[in-house]
Amino acid sequence: MRLPYFPLHVVVFPHLPLPIHVFEPRYRAMTRDVLADGSPYAGRFVVSMITDGAEVAERGGQPPRSERVGTIVEVRRAERLPNGRWALLAVGVARALLSDVDRSGEYATVEAAQLDDEAGDPDIAGALLPEVQAALDEYLATVKRFVASAASLARESQEITDVAASLDEVLKPIRLPDDPLAASYAVGGVLQIELTRKQQLLELPDAASRLRAELDLLRREARLLADGAMPPVSTADLRYNPN
């Protein structure tokens, strides 16, 4: 299927939300067409992670390069702002293999072949779920302790204090779904790791493989945080994603 194409510095997992602040003219045009009554796009477009280049296009500049595996997303809520910009809330629908980008119109479109969602070995995936849940609980608790400690050492930093307050709201205890596939996507969205690692998780072929990799990452990140080896989560990770 051919859909509008929106490369961003983000990795989107199926079933998870993506807030976007749309301000560039080309993406305003894209939003108009995606949301139009009777649109062939039915409220959907494709997001993939930028590997080189900027989200905001420079006049005459080269378009950004991005990953070939991305995510089809669907707009669930849209608010048009007085200045013509949009505040969108999209949700991941499915992973897709991307090819044949067409940049001849007002905005780029891409051919997106939906990738099947596989559970992998059901016995392995089911056995991994309790371990992943325990590792996630410890990871979230360690993140909170780390940020609270950083805030106490830098009371003059309003940003650190704001992050701590945001994390207290955002990183509440999370009960993973019983479905291993949905659980694997949920953990991928929660993990605060490099985008390249998130992309690797997105590209894994099944839930069992993804959960196994996430279990290792949750334990690794919790150890690093406990040792004070990682910085607190940036406030940029807690806000709308600008285009």
Asked if residue 238 and residue 126 are part of one domain, the reply reads: yes
The Cα 141–Cα 144 span in angstroms is 5
* Overall number of domains in the chain: 2
Asked if residue 89 and residue 8 are part of one domain, the reply reads: yes
209, pLDDT greater than 70: yes
Q: Which of 10-14, 103-107, 118-122 has the lowest mean pLDDT?
A: 118-122
Boundary of a domain, candidates 79, 114, 149: 114
Cite the beta strand spans of the chain per DSSP E: 2-8, 17-22, 44-52, 65-66, 69-80, 86-102, 109-114, 241-242
The whole domain housing 49 covers: 2-114
- Residues 18-64 pLDDT 10s: 999 999 999 999 999 999 999 999 999 999 999 986 665 555 567 77
* pLDDT > 70 in the chain, percent: 79
Asked if residue 130 and residue 106 are part of one domain, the reply reads: no
pTM for the predicted model, two decimal places = 0.83
Asked if residue 106 and residue 135 are part of one domain, the reply reads: no
- Residues 62-102 pLDDT 10s: 777 889 999 999 999 999 998 889 999 999 999 999 999 99
Boundary of a domain, candidates 80, 114, 148: 114
The domain that contains 16 carries what CATH number?
A: 2.30.130.40
The Cα 13–Cα 15 span in angstroms is 6
